[in-house]
Amino acid sequence: MKLKLMTLFLLSISFANSWANFTEEKSLIKLSPNPSLHLNLAQSDDLGGGKSHTVTSLILPGVGLWRVTKMPATLVFLPLCYGMVGFGTINIIKGKVEYNNYMAEKNPIEQGTYYDNAIKKNENGRRILGFGVAFWIIQAGWTYIYGSYNDIYRTRNSSWKDKITLHSGGYDPISKSFSLSTSINF
């Protein structure tokens, strides 16, 4: 499967370069002055961090996931998780204040108002706090999973010979076909 994907990738590179260099000549068009294209499979920049970034993700939600996946959109978890946990905690505290007012009130009509407010704020606070903690734990789990795969890929790539070479390739306008010569060093 991976060999088919790599072959497809190399063919797409060959097609793109051949199309860019296409002229009206009737002979085989070469890719470039340098006929070899080296692709390094074990570059450290290609993969994000490992599963050790889970600790970072537990302290700063989204930051560890960003370091592992290299997707800046995951940084949305930082204000989301802290905001939901903070807002939920504030609502629970306000609910306790309302409950204390209910217990201190002697007027039955005011007691009902304080009690309803206390229940409503406490329920909403617990719900929001629960969602915030759930998002926090889920993104930490994603960080661990993606980091584990990055560690596996990094280990696998370091054991390979790290070059795939595209020797030559091009498009022949007469036969309307592609020519491609590759080698994989193991």
Q: Which domain holds residue 130?
A: 48-159
Query: Which residues 6+ apart lie within 8 Å of 143 measured at CB?
Result: 51, 53, 54, 56, 57, 64, 65, 68
Please say whether the beta carbons of 42 and 157 come within 8 A. yes
Q: How many CA within 13 A on the CB side of residue 3?
A: 5
- CA-CA-CA-CA torsion sign (130, 131, 136, 139): positive
Residue 17 has pLDDT above 70, yes or no: no
56, 35: one domain: no
Only one residue has tokens 């306000």, namely 94
54, 102: one domain: yes
82, 99: one domain: yes
Please say whether the beta carbons of 18 and 178 come within 8 A. yes
Average pLDDT, the chain: 75
Interatomic CA distance for residues 136 and 77, integer angstroms: 8
How many domains does the chain divide into? 2
Query: Which residues 6+ apart lie within 8 Å of 114 measured at CB?
Result: 98, 99, 101, 102, 105
Q: pLDDT tens across 47-68, in order?
A: 778 888 899 999 999 998 888 8
53, 144: one domain: yes
Contacts 24+ apart (CB under 8 A), 113-120: 119/95, 120/95
Average pLDDT rounded to a whole number, residues 135-140: 94
168, 155: one domain: no
54, 142: one domain: yes
What is the pLDDT at residue 91?
95
66, 101: one domain: yes
φ, ψ at 143 (rounded to 5°): -60, -45
108, 91: one domain: yes
143, 77: one domain: yes
16, 81: one domain: no
123, 34: one domain: no
pLDDT band at 152 (very low <50, low <70, confident <90, very high): confident
Residue 16 has pLDDT above 60, yes or no: no
What is the pLDDT at residue 87?
95
144, 62: one domain: yes
